[in-house]
Amino acid sequence: MLPKGLRRKKSSACFLLAVVLILGTAGCGGKNGEEEATPSAEPGITAPATEPTEPASQPTQPEEPTKAAEPTEIPKEVRTNFYVSSLDEELPSLSEAWKDYFSVGVALTANELNNEFKTDLIVQQFNSMTCGNEMKPDFLLDRAKTLSEGTETCPVLSFRSCDGMLQFCMDNGIKMRGHTLVWHSQTPDWFFMEGYSNHQDAVFVSREVMLERMENYIRQVMEYVNTTYPGVVYAWDVVNEAIAPGDGEENGMRVDDSLWYQVIGPDFVEKAFEYARKYADPEQKLFYNDFNTYETSKRIAIVNLVNKIREQGNIDGIGMQSHIGMSSPTMDDYETAICKFAETGVEIHITELDIGLDSDSEENLLKEGKRYKRLFFLLKNLMDSGKANITNVTFWGLTDDGSWLNKDGKRYPLLFNQLLETKPAFWGVLLDDGIPLY
Ligand code: G3I
């Protein structure tokens, strides 16, 4: 293993050159045909035809003995080893590679920051972070203190869970996505009850009281974070997962398991954004975040919701979580969703990217790398063609073993394995030549 100080010194210039060289075009919804079909020629990827070196008519020149020979084209070495230990070698940096396009983020749990090898890797690779859980309402709401020091309309919060993560970001120049303010999940039922009761026979507070609780919650989170760690949070997931067309509402809203909807009514999303805008720093961006955003009915409902909030001036972006599979969604459907969202005029964040691969065979890990490459190739093309303003891509976890998907220990969704080695997925995200696109 190289001494720590030496690990970071290798240049990533070759890699950057490769990224810059890859150019392409994309159209929204303009692609037809089978998703996995092999294109005869992929625009922008195939190397340009070699120029003739010497026109036939050109007179021969006498050789200059002192001049070095013209550089001949050196064939580029194509990577074949995809498993590089971040402990031994300096890796090209994802955030550096994509810096002209979007920030690159990672979701973490607080305890991952106790591992020095991980923090080295995080600082090297990412310029955005999301708390996997530590900034959610069930972590911030302090029931005991709310009962003793709060009021019926103002809960008491504690930020112990996320303080260390915010401090880490501040110390290392990493920005944070604030995740998440208003969500039906990971928000305790007692927050919706009279007297903050957690008894079985507890009753809901009125809509008016709940709106005040919501405003006071959002205000306190924003005031604390923005005062204690100024400039760290650059985007807030104001409302998470409020759309669930399966619940049968005309507007596509989640009803069945959303106490927010049940206590306040369908305008709880608009109210949340109104309060968020009121207390956010002016430069902070406000996002609506959801999963399976490429499903048609969900996509349409999100566009309608966002258009409404945009008219009120209270939203800046859509977060596409992107917990995707190996073959679903198709790249075409994913592209269509991005384009439809971009048409609303807001920014796009890919907020929780991972791929639900359930096999670690060499073949499948390579396929995963290929899928990541295709996805990033698409994102790049959408940006290059001005079709979408994608400003952040965040991976939902650092290593496979730490992924939320990995309850059975047999999931391989991310870019690094348990040993902090790169997987083909990492090189796919870098559009490395060693990973085939198709
Ligand atoms: O906090 C309790 C702890 O007290 C208890 O001892 C322990 C025992 O299992 O559970 C802890 O709660 C867990 C919590 O994470 C915090 O670690 C829950 O069981 C577990 O279900 C929960 O999972 C999180 C999940 O959200 C819950 O909805 C995942 O870690 C987190 O990655 C995941 O993140 C969500 C995004 O916020 C929104 N989009 C979907 C994404 C994946 O589900």
Tens digits of per-residue pLDDT, 303-353?
A: 999 999 999 999 999 999 999 999 999 999 999 999 999 999 999 999 999
Query: What was the pLDDT predicted at 25?
Result: 39
pLDDT in tens, 107-130: 999 999 999 999 999 999 999 999
pTM of the model: 0.86
Look at 88 and 215; give whichever has higher pLDDT.
215
Rounded Cα distance, 76 and 74, in Å: 6
Count helices and strands in the chain by DSSP H and E runs: 14, 9
Q: Would the pLDDT of 262 be above 60?
A: yes
Q: What is the mean pLDDT of the chain?
A: 88
Ligand 1 within 6 A of CB of 220: no
pLDDT mean over 362-380? 98
List, as one string, the DSSP characters of 250-314. TT-B--TT-HHHHHH-TTHHHHHHHHHHHHS-TT-EEEEEESSTTSHHHHHHHHHHHHHHHHTT-
Q: Which atom of ligand 1 is nearest to the CA of 397?
A: 32
Structure confidence at residue 34 as a pLDDT band (50, 70, 90):
very low
Cβ(280)–Cβ(301) below 8 Å: no
Residue 35 is a catalytic residue: no
Q: What is 94-429's CATH topology? A: TIM Barrel (3.20.20)
* Percent of the chain predicted with pLDDT > 90: 81
How far does the centroid of ligand 1 lie from the alpha carbon of residue 186, in Å? 8
Residue 103 CB less than 6 A away from ligand 1: no
Q: What is the mean pLDDT of residues 155-177?
A: 98
| Neighbouring C-alpha atoms within 13 Å toward the C-beta of 94 | 29
**Protein residue closest via CA to atom 26 of ligand 1:** 133
Look up 241 and say whether it is catalytic. Answer: yes
Q: What is the pLDDT of residue 77?
A: 84
pLDDT on residue 48: 31
Closest C-alpha residue for ligand 1 atom 23: 404
pLDDT category of residue 70 using cuts at 50, 70 and 90: low
Poorest-pLDDT segment among 71-85, 88-102, 174-188, 367-381: 71-85
**Residue 160 identity (one-letter amino acid):** R
pLDDT for 71-103, tens place per residue? 667 667 899 999 999 998 899 999 999 999 999
CB 99 within 8 A of CB 142: no
Comparing 35-44, 55-64, 186-195, the range with the smallest average pLDDT is 35-44
- Confidence at 68, pLDDT banded by 50, 70, 90: low
Which residues contact residue 149 at a Cβ distance below 8 angstroms, ignoring those fewer than 6 apart? Answer: 156
